[in-house]
Amino acid sequence: MTKQAHQRFVWTSDMETGNTLVDREHKASLDLMNLLTLVDEQENPGMALMETVAALERFTSKHFKHEEDLLDAVDSPDLALQGTQHNMLRRELSVMVNAIDAENPGDTIHGIVSWVERRLLRHLNTFDMGTFSKHPFR
């Protein structure tokens, strides 16, 4: 299969918030999401799943902090709500990660891929878009 065939999550210009850092990190998150779908396609994803999900956890935590720092720097009224959303997403991902059975990860990985699509990607494309497109730090 070609690399393009594995691109379930593709960056498009309508996903741009206008903030260079946020957009760069959102693009990178799509790479991790696509890597997760590749792992999902493996017959025995055990260790690859654990490494990819750990990378996703580290990345989202770092990215959420960057966003919150940007909002704090401009005294954004959206900071509290963004922080609440981020904490909820962190907890949801943590619960799924802690439930991974490395010996039989099939159901867990499908759930994480579904969560990425339903929750994380939606957050990036709707909540972050609305928040970062209206602030002066471009």
Q: Quick one: DSSP state of residue 11?
A: -
| pLDDT at position 6 | 58
Q: What is the number of other CB atoms lying within 10 angstroms of the CB of residue 108? A: 18
Return mean pLDDT, the chain. 86
In this predicted structure, the answer to whether residue 99 has a pLDDT above a threshold of 90 is no
- Tell whether the model's pLDDT for residue 2 goes beyond 50: no
In the chain, what percentage of residues exceed pLDDT 70? Answer: 88
Question: Which pLDDT belongs to residue 102?
Answer: 64
What number is the average pLDDT over the span 94-119? 82
Q: pTM for this structure?
A: 0.85
Residue-by-residue DSSP string for 82-96: HHHHHHHHHHHHHHH
Instruction: For the chain, give the number of residues.
Output: 138
DSSP letter at 16? -
What was the pLDDT predicted at 132?
Answer: 86
Tell me which of 31-35, 41-45, 71-75, 134-138 is least confident: 134-138
51: nearest Cα among 116, 102, 121 = 102
Whether 60 shows a pLDDT value over 80: the answer reads yes
Q: Is the pLDDT of residue 22 over 70?
A: yes
Distance CA 48, CA 38 (A): 10
The answer, yes or no, to whether residue 61 has pLDDT greater than 70, is yes
Residue 25 pLDDT grade (very low, low, confident, very high; cuts 50, 70, 90): very high
Q: What is the mean pLDDT of residues 115-136?
A: 87
Alpha-carbon distance of 84 to 78, in angstroms, equals 10
For the chain, the C-alpha Rg in angstroms (whole number) is 16
